[in-house]
Structure 1
Amino acid sequence: MSTIYEVAKLAGCAVSTVSRVLNHHPNVSAKTKAKVQTAMDKLQYRPNTVAKSLASQRTHCVGIMVNELASSFFGTLTGAIESTMRAHNKHTIVTAGHSDAATEKKGIEFLIDRKCDAIVVHAEAVSDAYLIELIERGVAMLVMNREIKGYESYCISLNNELGGFLATQAVIAHGHNDIAYISGPMKKHDAHQRWEGHRRALEHANIDYNPLNFIEAEFTKSGGEAAFYRLLKRKAVFSAIVCGNDEIACGVMTAARQHGLALPSELSIVGFDNSPITLCTYPTLTSIDYPIAQMGQYAANHILQTVYGEHIDCDSGQFKPQLVERASLIKRVAMK
């Protein structure tokens, strides 16, 4: 196996120059970089990453912990972080917490033990106190979809309450007064905030909140299907359903058709996330845009700037949702 000394000798430069090339130091000419790269190629030289990490105190690796891996939402998030990091010669390690406090802690500690230079965390079950403890310990960390009072600079979040308000406000603007709401699990911060936004939109329009028209469900298609049938069993009256996410909305669409309803003429439906599936449903699904790709890119750029010293402009980590109106939402027609 060739060594850095052999590379330096073949390239006709100092070992320190080879080291600067390997560490992408800006003060190395293109001509010198080319000579060093040619020498490394000829010798089939591979840097000792362990030694390199010890010398630089950097592993050039970023950890990501998300709720689930089998999810287009989290796939979009991790994909945005990974592609941005890869463009800057950094790598990522991904693990899942499955919305369980003990599993989330294990995942975070796993990434810390792997000496990741920074960690992006989308955690739902661990406490703010635990995350604050890590920050105070000096762990370079960004927290997704969460606001920790006093530690806002470590958080990247979407205004979920505003998203819930915009969804219901749009339904009301289309003439619907009898509105059902299917939330995700209310123990989840984002689900509760979206429901709060729904309540505010009703209050703003002087529409009484009807508990019969509220169902809590899992953030899944099957959860949406089951919730729709629960509404029917209650004999709830509604001409529109606002859903906590797009998967719930897809389940509602399936169940509504099975019940014999024509969409959207007999039932308007609104989702949340603006995931790719919104363009595959029939009718196409009106949804609240959750800019998760941009948020992931922001997280990566923030780490590149603050941890690695890259000259990258980063705006605020607070994002606002927007309504994307499609064919699933129309003017009110009485439900049969």
Structure 2
Amino acid sequence: MDNKTITIKEVAEYANVSQATVSRVINGQSSVKEKNLNKVLQAIEVLGYTPNSAAKALATNRSNSVGMLVGSLDGPFYGPLMHSAEDAIYRYGMHLIVTSGQDCEKKEVESLNFLRAKQVDGVIISSDKISDDAIVDYTTKFKNFVLLNRSIPEIEQHCLYLDNELGGYLATKHLLDHGHKKIGCITGPLTQHDARDRLLGYIRALAENGVSYDPSLTIEGRFDHLDNFEKASILLERAPELTAVFCQNDNIALAVYDVCTQKGIRVGDDLSVVGFDNNFMSIHVRPLLTTVGFPVHDMGKIAGQMIIDQIKGVTRSHQRKLMPTLEDRDSVKDLRPAIAC
């Protein structure tokens, strides 16, 4: 159908609701029952109705859009994060505008300035490069905001993050509990908070089990695919006595798998590997990758609801610190002595 001919009245008739209900959905008001909300959204999609966004913005003093800054537009982490956030926001008749910093502070700053110029009603920020002080300064320029994957005391109530230190601890303790003592660690970029916290968890687990931290068994990698093959090769050549490696994300773990294949090392037998994130690739390698689960879908969903509540002035308690879980699969060998019957 030609969307220029579609009116609110026709949407209301199709959805079997009042025109006032359709108007409330279009303007993002929270007083619409979920059943009616879904009926109106379906009618809008089927009929191809497009409200006049400029007129709506003037009438409501809102753009009915939320901005989101992420580190990258590709990879197995940001895709689910953006999808879950958009789904939560769209349910309230609003749209998500996504920008990427592309691993560059200058581009992250430019992206935030772009979102300000678009007069978004709120912003979800996932920034690796901008400093804490600069983030705090930027959040004063956005009335509504959520900060992901970082905890800054001055804006704690706006932060949503994973307990990365616990994740690093769980991964390393799992290896220790299976009898491993020589455990290497390939980190993400140590300029990033999550990489540093996961390293602290690794060190804490070693200390609690009486194993001294050896810096030579740690090497800095990346959370994307670049250079990790080379870094894994260097670590395994430097420390051939390693029986296990904690990789700070699953991309790094896959690089270790590739190095092992090239060197004739059997993962899960000659070398145990634990990853982090539990992305979709972890169940498509052999042996199946033991990894720390990052509830990325939950993070996106909660972030979307947090920003909607701020925009609408709704006071609600949200979980702001997410807990990792260990996904125990097949890539860790048990080195503990067998107990005689």
TM bucket, shorter chain = 0.7 to 0.9
* Equivalent residue for 1:63, pick from 67, 76, 101: 67
Indicate yes or no: 2:247 matched with 1:229.
Answer: no
Q: What residue is the counterpart of 1:321 in the other structure? A: 324
What displacement does 1:220 show?
A: 3.3
Q: What residue is the counterpart of 2:302 in the other structure? A: 298
Indicate yes or no: 2:186 matched with 1:190.
Answer: no
Q: Is the contact between residue 199 and residue 209 of structure 1 (CA under 8 Å) also seen in structure 2?
A: yes
Q: What residue is the counterpart of 2:109 in the other structure? A: 105
Q: Is the contact between residue 26 and residue 93 of structure 2 (CA under 8 Å) also seen in structure 1?
A: no
Specify the SS of the correspondent of 1:59: coil
What displacement does 1:139 show?
A: 3.1
Q: Partner amino acid for 2:139?
A: I
Counterparts of 1:174-323 in structure 2 under 5 Å? 174-309=178-313, 314-323=317-326
Q: Partner amino acid for 1:170?
A: H
What displacement does 1:304 show?
A: 1.9
Q: Kindly provide the CA deviation profile for residues 234-271 of structure 1, in whole angstroms up to 9, marking residues without a partner as x.
A: 24421000001000000101111210112211110000
Specify the SS of the correspondent of 1:257: helix
Ranges in structure 2 where 5+ consecutive residues have no aligned partner: none
Specify the SS of the correspondent of 2:181: coil
Give me the TM-score of the superposition, normalised by structure 2: 0.85
CA distance 1:179–1:59, change in 2 (3 Å): same
What displacement does 1:101 show?
A: 1.3
* Equivalent residue for 2:335, pick from 301, 310, 332: 332
CA distance 1:297–1:15, change in 2 (3 Å): closer
Q: Partner amino acid for 1:175?
A: G
Q: Is the contact between residue 66 and residue 123 of structure 2 (CA under 8 Å) also seen in structure 1?
A: yes
Ranges in structure 1 where 5+ consecutive residues have no aligned partner: none
Q: What residue is the counterpart of 2:146 in the other structure? A: 142
What displacement does 1:221 show?
A: 3.9
Q: Kindly provide the CA deviation profile for residues 116-145 of structure 1, in whole angstroms up to 9, marking residues without a partner as x.
A: 111111001111112211223343111100
Alignment length, in residue pairs? 320
Specify the SS of the correspondent of 1:261: coil
Alpha-carbon separation, structure 2, partners of 1:86 and 1:103: 26
CA distance 1:167–1:49, change in 2 (3 Å): same
RMSD after superposition: 3.1
What displacement does 1:46 show?
A: 4.5
Q: What residue is the counterpart of 1:124 in the other structure? A: 128
Indicate yes or no: 2:78 matched with 1:74.
Answer: yes
Counterparts of 1:143-158 in structure 2 under 5 Å? 143-158=147-162
Q: Partner amino acid for 2:112?
A: I
Q: Is the contact between residue 220 and residue 251 of structure 1 (CA under 8 Å) also seen in structure 2?
A: no
What displacement does 1:15 show?
A: 9.8
CA distance 1:222–1:260, change in 2 (3 Å): farther
- The structure with the largest alpha-carbon Rg is 1
CA distance 1:328–1:317, change in 2 (3 Å): same
CA distance 1:293–1:21, change in 2 (3 Å): closer
Q: What residue is the counterpart of 1:169 in the other structure? A: 173
Q: Is the contact between residue 4 and residue 15 of structure 1 (CA under 8 Å) also seen in structure 2?
A: no
Identical columns (%): 31
Q: Partner amino acid for 1:321?
A: P
Specify the SS of the correspondent of 2:186: strand
Counterparts of 1:14-33 in structure 2 under 5 Å? 19-20=23-24, 22-23=26-27, 26=31
CA distance 1:18–1:292, change in 2 (3 Å): closer
Q: Is the contact between residue 169 and residue 201 of structure 1 (CA under 8 Å) also seen in structure 2?
A: yes
Q: Is the contact between residue 270 and residue 286 of structure 1 (CA under 8 Å) also seen in structure 2?
A: yes
Give me the TM-score of the superposition, normalised by structure 1: 0.86
